Chains A and B, each alone.
Chain A
């Protein structure tokens, strides 16, 4: 059964700190790993990592995929209060037609 475990479940830091969120997974025939940010309601897409793209960067956010060790990290540098959210990791296997989500990491950035 496909599985995603995120850690930590909750993290509180001060504005300006750098944070690293972890996502480990087990999936049959890995196809993709996705990161989402959920502030109030609808999760918004951040990154997709696949076998052909194991590192992504957008501004202060970056993510890498380690297909050998079966994990991904999401890095946020110079955090701002607007980064406070739940960060969700999900994986999909080839032929599965669906994503499997982890529990999420609740990140709180204090001013």
Chain B
């Protein structure tokens, strides 16, 4: 089955620890995205990547880092510099090309930092 997987589903960490969220897709999509969702808010873009070994900051990149070493994988690291890391994190992917495409979303990871 083709799709996007995110792991783990729930993650608990102590303040001051870095944590890495996994995102893998087997849809052969070039572009991948990381969003953060807080209660009562829409999706805010953290980082995105159009191609392997290249990525751009989104609107709220501070305190986060990413890598794109493989087309299928786009892990997100939440560093201790992120002041309010507790949130729901969604990964998405889509093809690139001359026409607009919808994004496909993974099931998300709920991160709780205490």
Interface membership of B8, Cβ < 8 A = no
How far does the alpha carbon of A102 sit from the alpha carbon of B43 in the complex, in Å? 7
Encode contact with A along B28-39: 1 for CB under 8 Å, 0 otherwise.
000101010000
- Chain B residue nearest to A35 (CB atoms) is B102
The answer, among B43, B48, B58, B96, for a CB contact under 8 Å with A88, is B43
Tell me the nearest residue of chain A to B102, going by C-beta: A45
A43 touches B41 (CB 8 A): no
* Chain B residue at minimum C-beta to C-beta distance from A45: B102
In the assembled complex, the Cα of A37 lies from the Cα of B103 at a distance in Å of 13
Interface residues, chain B, CB within 8 Å of chain A?
A: 31, 33, 35, 40-45, 48, 50, 56, 58, 90, 96, 100, 102-108
- A residues contacting the other copy or chain, number (CB 8 A): 24
Evaluate whether A92 and B100 lie within 8 angstroms (CB atoms) in the complex, with A41-B108, A98-B33 already known: yes
A32 touches B42 (CB 8 A): no
